[in-house]
Amino acid sequence: MGMPKYDRLLYILNLLRSRKNLNASAIAKECNVTERSIYRDIISLSEANIPIYYDNGYKLASDNFLPPLNLDIDEYNFLKLTIESTPLNTTGKNSDLIKKIKAKLDANVSTKVLKDSKFTRPSTYIDIPISNISNEQQENNFLDIEKAIEECKQVKVKYHSIKSEVTDRIVEPYFIIFKGKSFYLVAFCHLREKFRTFRLSRIMQIEILENTFFRNDDVNVESYFEDSWLIYNDDPVEVVIKFVGPAVSIIKTSSHHPKEIIEEISEDEILYKVTTRGIDEIQRWIITFGQYAHVQKPDNIRENLKNIGKYFSETYKN
């Protein structure tokens, strides 16, 4: 489906400013419309006193009617880095929006900045591991959820949980968030009668219902994920870990939770304290430190790690 005509006219102007020798066929492909529509658009732009002419492709005789953004080379490169590194590039709808934004950015900066950027080697790269929204079903699910959030409508989902259970649920969707390499939906779940976090890639089917819901304004990203280790939240639990050896420098030189407390015992021993919601995620993190992490509390993490250690010992004893 093509973009609205007003947006398309602006997009065509930006294309003509940033790229040379575009014919009607190429512009139509960029805008996802027919060549006939592009010819009508060219006429509309000409009638608006925008100087367009054809010479081995459409060109602008002058672009003084569109003053460039007053960005220097550093500001331009920073904006491009920000746009190109967003996880939203993985969704069809947003990738199209990002494409248009980049075209507008290139079309509205000075010629000098554009020339300088071609000879400026990037000093910073951002590589965010992402579980792509890789098929049409997931893409449609993403768009349907966005629509349901905007219209405050309940949705029925078929969800494949991390425990390999498939359940039908009616949920009230609040927001989509990108965390820990994937997109998640936060919604009030009628089945569990509480707010839950659903990984979008595990939603197998979705149906937008006619039933609407009243949004609780107290539920937002900040309040929902407060004290969570990463994604999921449960009852608050105090965790105390003694780190030793090479783990000490790792813990001391990076932040792992906004409310963590680090107490130095000796040069190669520290006490790490944090109150987080739920134990599954922090428990997986603790395991990565192996023998250099000694859990002091809570007892259920200690017991879980003991059972995990016993399993590995039995599995690999020969």
Q: List, as one string, the DSSP characters of 303-316.
A: HHHHHHHHHHHHHT
Q: Give the integer Cα–Cα distance in Å for 96 and 100.
A: 6
Residue ranges per domain, the chain?
5-60, 73-118, 136-224, 236-315
Q: What is the pLDDT of residue 91?
A: 60
**5-60 architecture in CATH?**
Orthogonal Bundle (1.10)
Q: Which two tokens stand for residue 190?
A: 């009628």
Q: Which CATH number fits domain 236-315: 3.40.1800, 2.30.110, 3.30.70, 3.30.1050?
A: 3.30.70
Query: Between vectors from CA 311 to CA 307 and to CA 314, what angle results, nearest 5°?
Result: 135
Number of helices and strands in the chain (H, E): 11, 11
**Tens digit of each residue's pLDDT, the chain (318 residues):** 567 787 788 888 888 877 888 899 999 988 888 999 998 898 888 877 788 888 788 888 765 555 556 778 888 888 888 877 776 666 656 777 777 788 778 777 777 887 777 777 766 666 666 655 556 777 788 889 989 999 999 999 999 987 778 999 999 999 998 887 788 999 999 998 999 999 988 999 999 999 999 999 888 888 888 889 988 888 899 999 999 999 999 999 989 999 999 999 998 999 999 999 989 999 999 999 999 999 999 999 999 999 999 998 888 877
Q: What is the pLDDT of residue 256?
A: 92
Helices (H), ranges, 156-298? 221-224, 247-252, 280-287
Nearest to 238 by CA among 249, 248, 247, 227: 227
Q: What is the pLDDT of residue 66?
A: 55
Looking at residue 316, what DSSP letter applies? T
Look at the block and give the residue holding tokens 């575009």: 22
Q: What is the pLDDT of residue 109?
A: 77
Q: Spelled out in words, what is the top-level CATH class assigned to the domain 136-224?
A: mainly beta
Cα 106 from chain centroid (whole Å): 23
**Topology alike, domains 5-60 and 136-224:** no
CB-count burial class (<10 Å; 0-12, 13-18, 19+) for 81: middle
Query: Between vectors from CA 109 to CA 104 and to CA 112, what angle results, nearest 5°?
Result: 140
Q: What is the pLDDT of residue 157?
A: 95
Q: Give the integer Cα–Cα distance in Å for 189 and 168.
A: 11
Q: What's the length of the chain?
A: 318
Q: Give the integer Cα–Cα distance in Å for 257 and 255.
A: 6
Q: What is the pLDDT of residue 89?
A: 66
Q: What is the pLDDT of residue 284?
A: 94
Q: Which two tokens stand for residue 68?
A: 């460039």
CB count within 10 Å of CB 219 equals 14
